[in-house]
Structures are given as structure tokens and as C-alpha cells.
Structure 1
Amino acid sequence: MKQFKTIPCAILVLGGIATAAPIEMQTKSGGLAGFGTIKEHVHGADCVSTADKANMRRDLQAYIRDFGPLSRPGLWGDNRQYSFFPVGGREWVDLYMENYVDLDSSEGGFQDWNCGGYSYDGHKGIDALIGTFEQQFVGVPIYSALDGVVWAMRDGEPDQNTVWDPDALSNYVGIDHGEGRYANYFHMKQGSVLVEIGQEVKAGEQIGLVASSGYSSWPHLHFETWIPDGEDDWKIYEPYAGDCNVQSSGWENQVSIPEGARCKDFGVTTANLDDFFVNEEYMWTPPLEGYIPLDHDGVWMWMQATDIGIFSTYQMQFYDPDGVLQHDTGTNWLNFSWNSYRFYITWFYWDIPELHTIPGTWTVDMIVNGDSFLSFPLTMVTQLEQTPNRVPGQIYATMLPASPTVEDVLSCNVFSLGPLDDLDWDLVRYTYTWSVGDNILRQVESAGLADRLPRLELCPGAVVQCTVVASDGIASGEPVTVVKRLEGLSNGDINCDGDVDVSDLLVLISNWGTCSLCLGDLDGDGDVDINDILTLIASWS
């Protein structure tokens, strides 16, 4: 049993008046056991090491020697926008946007585009973090943000760095996106780089996987863009627009920074989390358990959260399987300091008598700063009770853009139950299958909540589907499919395999008649009929 020290009520000095705070860190039944956050970067030093910069200079020299100079600015400027963030996830949902470009040029100061502190002194890119190393092991794709040509790449470096090492080498890709715009993608997974120097890539094409190689302490993508600044110079580009970066947004659909405390991940265990986090390595998921035996030495709870403000409080209410409130912790400190935390890892310990005697599924409501924060199940079992694996929770998916054309990168976005996506607290991974008819265009397993498909420029009118299956590594949920028709009249290549042949004819015949969204309806009029047959014959390979 964990021994807690009782912490007396704090004395706060507010406006010169001493006030007794009627809350504590812990109660006699448990409470907040520990907390941590992402390791602070050395201010004034970007997370691209000097060694990486030297390697990229050598890559550039080799590229110019073998392929010629990089692109130059166009006469009319470059007004292209990014249509997606180049990681297989959703900003501020499963991707934590830890740092943006530092827009404060003064030494020691830093400021993001929204006039906040989501940056650090000297940072020249955008850092998108995934949850833990466990997500890295499953894989989270990185894509080319625009069409381009690869001018730099490196692979083979260690990818589980947990300390800021300015001499560490990163796995990276540099792409010339045309018109003098260059983008660099850093900290990739060892062995994951899929491109070579001189290779042409499409927007939305996978180029690697997220990891923690190089000057990094957490698995993430560092994405930076350079644009022309006059005739022969370049400057770092922050595509986000806001009060502290007044411009037209560089994103087709810019995602705002959310406000207020939010739970990103959660789990329950009987493992001692003080021991697990003794080395302050918070980028690992602790061992979690979906069933807790009545005969336990205490229940531990692990949580990742964002935007935990100064002097934040929490409260937990434990309801037994009959809905009876058995224990209320009262209001306790979650963050007893003048520091606010953008990313906050906490763990709690509870030894509540009723959790030793009442089996079944309890409900625990967590309240932060007076607002509902998380309601989660806590399943208590007897010694001989069976504990079957539970499949991941229900998901649904959308495909963007809403009215896609042959020029668009397609995004398949997954919506899950967030921290409650698997009630055994297993890591959920998703298999994305992109297809047109029976032709599978892309299939990938990812720990991220989105995937991309490069444009299908040769397939106007094609009916594209993305099927997603959630799995905990043992059991899979029901497939979810979303379907879109590309704008334009079909050229007869129904399955988008590059040929108009008998396979396309067979699909058309199988769809004969009225249909709302089917492959054989080449003219998109809601009927598969003689007009579609004539279109196919006219395009026969």
C-alpha cells in the first residue's frame, strides 16, 4: 500500500491578502501521485542539429552536381496553400502541436502565430508530437506536403532518442516543392524513408514514418518550410495566420489552437507508476489493465492532458455498478503552481475500501476546474472471474475534400472515442484500405487518425472508397467505409488501373440499373445504362 504524506492546506497570497486554500494534494484514500511534462528544449537552439545541417549542405552539393540547381521563385509569386498537415493524424486530436515557428526575433523571447507560448526561442518549424513510443512502433506516416523533387535524405540513424543531444543525427527528407519553396521533414523512423535523392513525389505520397531520431526527446515530425526572400536569399515560413502573424493563411483549412484542459489519453493499472516513471521518461505508455482484481494493492491511473492552467483543481467521484456514489475525493490540487502546462502527464493512486469488496463495472467521473473532464469505466473482478478481451470502440470516418477532383489529395479522417477508444486501455491501430473497385490503391496500418491518398489525375469520375478497421492487436472492430466520386466524366477506367478493358466491362454489367453511387455509372446520372456502355467502348484500350 502506498504511503501518502498529508499536505496541509496551502496559504495563497492574493492581492496582499493571505487566504487559506481549502484543498489539498491528496486525501487519506489517495490522490495525485506524480506529474511530468515534455523535456524543455535548450532555448536559442533549433531542434535540427549542426551535424544535420552539415549533412544537408552536402546533400545539396551532390544534388546540384547530379541534377542541377534547385527551383527558383516564379514571376508571379507562390500563393499555394497546404491542404493537409503532412502527418497521418488530426491536429490537436491525436497530434499534439507542441511548437510552432518562433516569431519573436529578440534573444531569449519566443512567440507563436497566435501570440501564445507554443514555441521556444529560435524554433524554425512546426513540431507535431504523437502520443508515445508505442504509437511510433505501430507507425504513423509522414507525407509530402506538395508535389516536388527530393533533394536531401538520410536514413539509418537511431530513432528512440529521449534526451536533447545536439550532436545526434536525424533521419530526414528535404523536398524542393517548386517556385523556390523548400520543405524539410525531420526525426523520421529508422528504415522508414521511402524516397531517394532526385525522385519526384506527389502531394500526399508517403515519404517516411514519425519517430525520435536526431535532436529530439519525443517522437514527432519537425516540419519546416523555406520561401524566397528577395533574389538570392530565403526565410523561414510560418503558414499559420493569426494576430501575431498577419497574413493570408498558408492552409486551406487552418486548425485553431484549442483552449481549456483536455484529456488526450488515459488508462488504469495496478503497476506502481512511481516506479515506472522514476527516470522521468514520460514518452512511454505504462502497462495498463482493463480489469482490476478486488485483491489489489492500490489502483493507479495514468493521464495525458493539455492546457493545464495555473492552480488547476480536480475531483473524482466513484460510482459503484448500481450507480451509488461510494467515494468522492472532494476538490484537490491538480497543478499547485504559477506554471501552466501545455502538455501534462499525471498519475494518481487510490486505495478505496469499496474497490476491494464490490465487483463489477464502476463509473468514475473526473472534474477539472469545476467542469466535466472525463467519465470512464473501472471494472473490478473477483479472482476466478473471466476477463475477455474487448474490441475497440465504435469509429466513424469522413473523406475530404467534400467534393474532390482529380487534382486533390484525399484525406480519410477517423473519429474515435478518444481516451475511451478501447476499454482494456490497449493501443488502437487502424488499417486504411483505399480502393477503386477491386483495385487496391493503398493499404497501411497506422496508429494515427488520418491517412492520405495522392491525387488520381488519370481517373476523372472514379468512385473512391476508404475502408478503416480499428484493432487492438488482438481483435478488430467492424469495418467503416466512406465513398466519394471524383468530379468529372469517367474515361471508362472504372477501377483506375490504367487500362479500359474487360475487367471494367464486368464491373459495369454487375452494376446495371439504377444506383446512387456506383462504379459503373460513368456519366454520374444515377443509372448504369447504354450510355455508360458507349463511353466505355469509346475508351477501350
Structure 2
Amino acid sequence: MHTKLRLLLPITMPLGILAAHAAPAQHIGGPGKAAPLAPNACIRHADRQLMAELLGEFAAPRGGLQRYPFVPVAGTLHRDLFEVNFVDDDPGAGVLDWNCTSIGYNGHTGIDITIRGFGEQLIGVPVFAALDGVVIWSHDGEPDMNTQALGQVSNLVGIDHGGGQTSWYYHLKNGSVAVAVDDAVVAGQQVGLVASSGNTSWPHMHLDSDLNLTPFDPYSGPCHAAPSNWEHQAPIVLTSYLWDFGVTHEDLWVAPPWPHRPPQDRQIALGEPIYIWGLVANVPASSTFSYIFERPDGSIEWATPTWPYDNPNWRYALLWSWFQLGGMETIAGTWRIHYIFNGVELVNAPIEVVPTRDPDFNRPPAAISVALDPPQPSSDDAIFCRVDTDLIFDDPDYDLVRYEYVWRVNGQIVRQLTSAGQADAIPRQTAGSVVECSVTPSDGSLNGSTALVSVTVGSPGLLGDLNCDGTANVLDINPFVLALLDPTAYAAQYPECNIDNADINGDGAANVLDINPFVTLLLG
């Protein structure tokens, strides 16, 4: 009987055989390794000292903070972007984030927003200024594919927003820093690209938020009662989901480790081993997994036992397994791989098994849709164009997809780029401008269908003006109530209006806490 070996290799542990299981004679294989993220100190002590020196001349009495209107990376949280570390709000030796969990590490002063590896970095993922301001520091020219945090210098941008408030964007791509000291920047303007420069081991953007030399946590929650510094704070996501996926016949034991994207094949030949890999977000301690291998006719080749990963809690990890299945030696067609993680099926993935792999076989990316954010922008808003596509099946061959964004304002191209990010942005535009965003997905060889969206930019919103007649008065009472009770119905009935006009108290949400301020506003 063949033996199936189960091995795990966290990047902080030596390689070792942790368990062994018996498998049917016609099936051999099993898990390869699990590579979790190794937290590291993003900002060197020398960087913090430099920030203090630079900010001396900008320091001002503490005042009201300007809130971030968006996450300043070209993507969407909990889709292609993931906040892997939060600010450590525990002043002692422990770790505590705003949500009373421990997502981060001791002394972490910012937010780490990560992309899915070096593959996306090489294509490019923009970083934007979160607010208007003046550049007070920029540095470029450092290596940007670091896999060990050894105190290296980071490519970075620092922006002063006035009143002592600054934001800092770390780990940028070599050659991507697009602004210089004393440059005026506006929210939504590109300042660099996400990478792995500086004191880090993986590509991400560290956003540090400071007020008068002191870092602050922009999130609000049960363990950080300060008001949120986000106009629309994203909820935390702790459920497990598959962030990236692929299959290959190549030996992953000798493939470059993450953050290099593992290889993937568009076809598997009869008789070849199959390596299955997935980047899983939110991996709780003592997780379990199993597979179901489904033949082209729908019958089951093998439903594996449920095996343990024997892991501690990981924010995310690259998990992979290998198998050589008897049926895949003789049965060609579209097989399906069901990956079950902690009792939940994370993917039902089709793979093409053929007598001989065709090196020219390729299929274009799946169709996408796009939407603008905000959907009805005013002349105060930076504008995002967001792609809606499946995280795993964005390409039927599991190729790495990139997107060509073309922005037009009043018919003229104002921005055009290819990005791995599932969103892009431009700064605010004047009222009455017609903004159009077209997006074409590509796997690097074949293009998918282009999607397009357009809008006419409106005038800045007026608090309390929920019927968009240009004034706040008693005629806004019914639409205000509708906005609070049924935001979807409000958006349908008043498509030209902005529900943010109901956020009278400015806490980032339109809710019952805005009722008294709304009444006060109407009464004058």
C-alpha cells in the first residue's frame, strides 16, 4: 500500500514530517506545506526618529482630524486586498487591536494592507494619497522584493494634511514614487505602487497615521473608543475564505516560496501528479481539511478523510497538497476538485485533464462588471472604479489577471494604466464633468470583454438635503426617514442624491444618532 505523507512547513519552523496517513493503493499524495505570514516590524526606529524631526516644523495644537474617505490602495478590502495587521492599541507587552482581537504584533503603529504576492506587485498595484496635503518626505531607489525583514530602508511617501495630521505610505515599489517634497497632492492622486521594500518580507502597504508626532489608530471599536477616522469604516471579516487558488503538475517543494505566486497549469496530463494550492484568509488554530475528487461524469474518484493542519492561529496562509490519482491516469475531461476547510467547501474547482498538455491552450478571463464609488460623486469626491469578479474564477485557467483602466473626463483620456488591483481611482473632478471608466481584464495573453461605467459629477452635498433640491427643510423629513429605515429604497427613489447627506453628526453612518442633529439643523 502506498503511504501518504502529511507535512507542514510554517516559515518559522524547520521542515519535518508531522504526521502520516494511509491512502488507498491507487491514490498517493497529501498535504505539502503551510506557509503563514511572519509578522515583522514595518517601521525601523530610525524611520520614527526621522518622522519626528520632519514634523517638528509642522506640529500644531491638536484639532479635529480629517477622516479618510477611502482605503488608499487600488483594490477592495476582503477581495483582492486584506488588512493583515492593525494598530496595536495595547501600551504594554501584549497585542490588542480595535476589535479586541490580536491581529497585529506588539508595537505596530499602522495598518498593513497586503496584496496577493509578488505576481501582483510585478504587474503593479497603485497607492493613493488618502487626503489632500503637501509632501514632506519621499524616498525611492531601494530594493523592493525583500523576503526577510533585516532593518532595510523603505521607499516611502509622507504627506502633511495640516493641523499636525500626517499620513505615511511605506514599502513602495522601486522607481514608483511619483511625488517629491513640497509637492501639493490631492486625495486619489497616485503616489506610488505596493511592494516589499524596507523592513518587511512580503508586499504590502503600511499606512501610518500620525497627529503631532504620535501615531493614532484610525479604527473605532469596542477596544478603541475614539471616533473612527474613516468616513466609512469597513467591517472586520474573520470568516475563512479562499483568496487565491491554482493547480499544477510542477513540484511545489522546489518552487520559489510565497510571496512568489506558485505555478499553475491550464491543463493536467494523464498520469501527472497534481499539486493543489490555495491562499486562505483567516486560518483558525487546529484547522482541518479534506478533498473530494469528482470525475468528468460526476462520480466520485475519492473523498479523502478529514485531516488536521495542526496549526496555530494564522491571519492567512498558503496551503498546498499533492496527489496522484488512479483515475487521472486514464480518464480525460473536466474533473472537479472540492476543497473542504473546517467543514465548509471553499471551492469547487474545475480542472482540465488531457492526454497531452497543449502549450497553446488558453481561455480569456471571465466577464466582469464595474461600478463607480461613490456611485453619484460630487466635486468633493475622489472617484474609484471597482471591478466585480470572482476571486478564484476570474480566469477559467487560474491565470493571474490584470486590468487595463482607461479614464475619460468629458471624452478626454486623463488616466490609463494596467494594474493587478481590482479598483483604480482618480482625484475629484469639477461639477458637471462626465467621467467614464472602462476596464478590460487580461491574463497577459488574451483579453476578456471590456466593461464600462460613466456618471456626471454633481455639486457637493448639503447636509440634511435628502431630496436634492439644494436646501435642507421640512421637505427633507420623509426622505431622511427613508434613508435611515431603508437605504436601498432611498437610493432607488433618489438616485441622484447622496445618502451621506443624512449623516448629520459626521460619524460615518446615517442612523438614529442623526435624528436629533437633523431636527436641530431644520430648526436652525
Relative to the length of structure 1, the TM-score reads 0.79
**Residues 1:373 and 2:346 are matched in the alignment:** yes
Can you give the 5+ residue segments of structure 1 that lack an aligned partner in the other structure?
A: 8-22, 229-233, 490-523, 525-541
**Residues 1:209 and 2:185 are matched in the alignment:** no
Q: Distance in 2 between matches of 1:71 and 1:218?
A: 33
Q: Distance in 1 between matches of 2:433 and 2:61?
A: 35
**Residues 1:266 and 2:245 are matched in the alignment:** yes
Q: CA offset at residue 52 of structure 1?
A: 3.3
Map of 2:145 onto structure 1: 160
CA contact (8 A) 2:5 2:21 kept: no
Once the two structures are overlaid, the 10-residue window that deviates more, 142-151 or 418-427, is 418-427
Q: Work out which of the residue numbers 109, 133, 136 in structure 2 matches 1:124.
A: 109
Q: CA offset at residue 448 of structure 1?
A: 0.7
Q: Distance in 2 between matches of 1:386 and 1:444?
A: 29
SS in 1 for 2:254: helix
CA separation of 1:393/1:25 partners in 2, compared to 1, >3 Å: closer, same or farther? farther
CA contact (8 A) 1:175 1:182 kept: yes
Q: Distance in 2 between matches of 1:374 and 1:180?
A: 47
Q: Distance in 1 between matches of 2:39 and 2:169?
A: 21
Q: Work out which of the residue numbers 302, 310, 320 in structure 2 matches 1:336.
A: 310
Q: Distance in 2 between matches of 1:98 and 1:88?
A: 16
Q: Distance in 2 between matches of 1:150 and 1:289?
A: 44
Map of 2:475 onto structure 1: none
Map of 2:260 onto structure 1: 284
**Residues 1:358 and 2:357 are matched in the alignment:** no
CA separation of 1:414/1:385 partners in 2, compared to 1, >3 Å: closer, same or farther? closer
* Alignment-mate amino acid for residue 476 of structure 1: N
Q: Deviations over 1:229-288 (max 9, x none)?
A: xxxxx42111111111112221121112212211000100011111225xxx32111221
Q: Distance in 1 between matches of 2:107 and 2:146?
A: 21
Relative to the length of structure 2, the TM-score reads 0.81
Q: CA offset at residue 51 of structure 1?
A: 3.9
User: Alignment RMSD, CA only?
Assistant: 2.2
CA contact (8 A) 1:24 1:332 kept: no
* Alignment-mate amino acid for residue 23 of structure 2: T
CA separation of 1:139/1:26 partners in 2, compared to 1, >3 Å: closer, same or farther? farther
SS in 2 for 1:136: helix
Map of 2:302 onto structure 1: 327
Map of 1:50 onto structure 2: 45
SS in 2 for 1:135: helix
Q: Distance in 1 between matches of 2:67 and 2:6?
A: 55
* Alignment-mate amino acid for residue 233 of structure 2: Q
* Alignment-mate amino acid for residue 384 of structure 2: S
**Residues 1:82 and 2:71 are matched in the alignment:** no
Q: CA offset at residue 302 of structure 1?
A: 1.2
Q: Distance in 2 between matches of 1:306 and 1:443?
A: 31
* Alignment-mate amino acid for residue 243 of structure 1: P
Aligned pairs (5 A) from 1:206-245: 206-228=190-212, 234-245=213-224
Map of 1:178 onto structure 2: 162
* Alignment-mate amino acid for residue 34 of structure 1: K
Q: Deviations over 1:77-112 (max 9, x none)?
A: 3242211111111112111211111000112x1111
Can you give the 5+ residue segments of structure 2 that lack an aligned partner in the other structure?
A: 8-18, 461-495, 497-524
Map of 2:30 onto structure 1: 31
Q: CA offset at residue 468 of structure 1?
A: 0.8
* Alignment-mate amino acid for residue 434 of structure 1: W
Q: Distance in 2 between matches of 1:258 and 1:32?
A: 27
Q: Distance in 1 between matches of 2:134 and 2:247?
A: 47
Q: Deviations over 1:409-438 (max 9, x none)?
A: 101111111122112221100111111232
CA separation of 1:399/1:73 partners in 2, compared to 1, >3 Å: closer, same or farther? farther
* Alignment-mate amino acid for residue 165 of structure 2: R
CA separation of 1:314/1:195 partners in 2, compared to 1, >3 Å: closer, same or farther? same
Q: CA offset at residue 323 of structure 1?
A: 1.4
CA contact (8 A) 2:3 2:22 kept: no
SS in 2 for 1:418: coil
CA contact (8 A) 1:97 1:128 kept: yes
Alignment length (residue pairs): 446
Map of 2:80 onto structure 1: 94
SS in 1 for 2:407: strand
Map of 1:302 onto structure 2: 277
Q: Deviations over 1:379-417 (max 9, x none)?
A: 101127675211011211111112210110101111111
Q: CA offset at residue 329 of structure 1?
A: 1.1
* Alignment-mate amino acid for residue 389 of structure 1: N
Map of 2:178 onto structure 1: 194
Q: Distance in 1 between matches of 2:180 and 2:313?
A: 43
Q: Distance in 2 between matches of 1:401 and 1:391?
A: 30
Q: Distance in 2 between matches of 1:26 and 1:243?
A: 47
Once the two structures are overlaid, the 10-residue window that deviates more, 358-367 or 187-196, is 358-367
SS in 1 for 2:392: helix
**Percent identity between the two aligned chains:** 36
**Residues 1:483 and 2:454 are matched in the alignment:** yes
* Alignment-mate amino acid for residue 177 of structure 1: H
SS in 2 for 1:52: helix
CA contact (8 A) 2:131 2:187 kept: yes
CA contact (8 A) 1:291 1:380 kept: yes
Q: Deviations over 1:306-351 (max 9, x none)?
A: 1111222222111122212222113222x224x1111111111011
CA contact (8 A) 1:6 1:26 kept: no
Once the two structures are overlaid, the 10-residue window that deviates more, 396-405 or 324-333, is 324-333
CA contact (8 A) 1:392 1:421 kept: yes
**Residues 1:391 and 2:377 are matched in the alignment:** no
SS in 1 for 2:113: strand
